[in-house]
Amino acid sequence: MATDPIGAVRRLWAAFVGSAFVAWLRSHRRGIGVTVLVAFAVFLVVYVWTNPGVIADALSIGWGNLSLLFGLYVLVLVTHFLILLATVRLCGRRIAIGPGASLTVYSTVANFFGPLQTGPGVRAVYLKTTVGVRLRDYTLATLFYLFVFGAVNASLLFATTLPWLSVLGLTVGAGVVVVATWKLGLGDRAGTVVAIAGITVVQALVMSVIYFVEVNAVAGPYDYLHSLVYAASANLSLFVSLTPGAIGIREGFLYFAQHLHGIPSDTIVAAGIADRAIYAVFLGVLFLISGAFHLRSAVQQQSAKRLGDSD
């Protein structure tokens, strides 16, 4: 008898969603959230304690560059947040600003310290259990974002050597997006599709400015165009991030793309150390601030509930 693999997967997923384990997770969301917050806070403290040089590495490039990079990291985080809002909207749902911002922060932290693309997994589980976004819809929307991100960076790899190929790659990528939007019947959501693509391009450009600042802070001078190619090769390493922060993976991509961006190995290593150190400190500060606000909100809600029960 022929089997229906898609139907089998759907039945397994339905059984999982309706299981006692998922019901327990839903009923203990707040407690689990607080536990995760505390666990991440402890992890960050231990990480800095066992790697004290991370602070020195972050400060070695100067306070001016450090402040500039923190501001640029905030811009990158804003693009992640806007892409999250647009992605959820593409799936036919809405998420409030506050929960969306918190989810962006926590998933970004998870994506840096966790292997592979941990962040999208965290977002998928949260959106499924709290917003009602179907896993299939979110997966497709995320794949669209990743396609745009990959197409933009793959095209920019040749900005200094074969600029016509960069233009061709961006044109073909835009054509694929248009055709896919039409074939998938998303004409009524074309504005959201364009928004995701546009924000993704802005995100890639902001990240290129970050790398431009970093390579010029540790060595240089390097022009922006070569830093743009450098950033493109670094960004593509995110697709095979087998280690936290893509440690080693990014450097491998940058090394093999040296003939494209022209930045030497010693600069790659020095900039990589500074980048990981600064970004880890940035995420730690951001996470602790966000966690403090989250815990404060949870305490206020719990106090209001107790007062209501006592009336």
Cα 199 from Cα 283, distance rounded (Å): 21
Please report the pLDDT score of residue 232 as a whole number: 93
Assigned domain for 268 exists: yes
The answer to whether residue 58 is domain-embedded is yes
Q: Is 301 inside any structural domain?
A: no
Q: Is 25 within a domain?
A: no
CB under 8 A, 24+ apart: contacts of 224-230: 225/159, 225/160, 226/160, 226/261, 226/262, 226/263, 227/261, 227/263, 228/156, 228/159, 229/156, 229/157, 229/158, 229/159, 229/160, 229/257, 229/260, 229/261, 230/254, 230/257, 230/261, 230/263
Residue 228, in any domain of the structure: yes
- Per-residue confidence (pLDDT) for residue 181, from 0 to 100: 85
Query: What would the 3-class secondary structure string for the chain be?
Result: CCCCHHHHHHHHHHHHHCCHHHHHHHHCHHHHHHHHHHHHHHHHHHHHHHCCHHHHHHHCCCHHHHHHHHHHHHHHHHHHHHHHHHHHHHCCCCCCHHHHHHHHHHHHHHHHHCCCCHHHHHHHHHHHHHHCCCHHHHHHHHHHHHHHHHHHHHHHCCCCCCHHHHHHHHHHHHHHHHHHHHHCCCHHHHHHHHHHHHHHHHHHHHHHHHHHHHHHHHCCCCCHHHHHHHHHHHHHHHHHCCCHHHCCHHHHHHHHCHHHHCCCHHHHHHHHHHHHHHHHHHHHHHHHHHHHHHHHHHHHHHHHHHHHHHC
What's the confidence (pLDDT) of residue 131?
Answer: 84
Could you give the number of structural domains in the chain? 1
* pLDDT value, residue 66: 86
Domain contains 250? yes
At residue 124, the pLDDT reads 84
Domain presence at residue 130: no
Would you say residue 116 lies in a domain? no
Low-confidence residues in the chain, pLDDT < 70: 1-19, 21-23, 25-48, 51-60, 113-117, 241-248, 290-311
Domain carrying residue 277? 33-96+141-239+246-286
